Amino acid sequence: MASYIVLANYTSQGIKSVKDSAKRLDSAKKLMKEFGVKLTSWYLTIGTYDLVFVLEAANDETVTRFVLTLTSRGNITTNTLKAFPEAEYRKIVGSLS
C-alpha cells in the first residue's frame, strides 16, 4: 500500500458548520472503507492547514477517487502528497548514479 499525506482546509461552508465536523469525519471514515483506503492518522492543526491526515491506499487512482469524492461534498479543500517511507527513500536515493 502506498502512503499519502493530505493537507486540508475548511471551506466557508465547512467552517460555518464546524460543530458538525466530527460527524463528517465519521462519514469520511465510512467512505474510506468503501474505497479501500486506510486512515493511519488524523490531526486538527494550527497554521497553514486546518487538518492533516495520513492515508494508505492501493494506488494513486484509488486515493484520488476518494479525495475527489470527499472534497465534492464542499466542506474541505485538499492538497495530497504521495509519501515514500524510509526504505523506499533509501532505494530511490541508492539507485542514483
The answer on pLDDT for 97 being more than 90 is no
What are the pLDDT digits (tens) for 21-79? 999 999 999 999 999 999 999 999 999 999 999 999 999 999 999 999 999 999 999 99
What pLDDT is attached to residue 53? Answer: 97
The DSSP result for the chain, as a single string, is -EEEEEEEEE-HHHHHTGGGHHHHHHHHHHHHHHHT-EEEEEEE-SSS-SEEEEEEESSHHHHHHHHHHHHTTSSEEEEEEEE--HHHHHHHHHT--
Q: Which domain holds residue 20?
A: 2-94
Q: What is the CATH number of the domain that holds 66?
A: 3.30.70.920
What pLDDT is attached to residue 16? Answer: 97
What pLDDT is attached to residue 64? Answer: 98
Indicate the number of domains in the chain.
Answer: 1
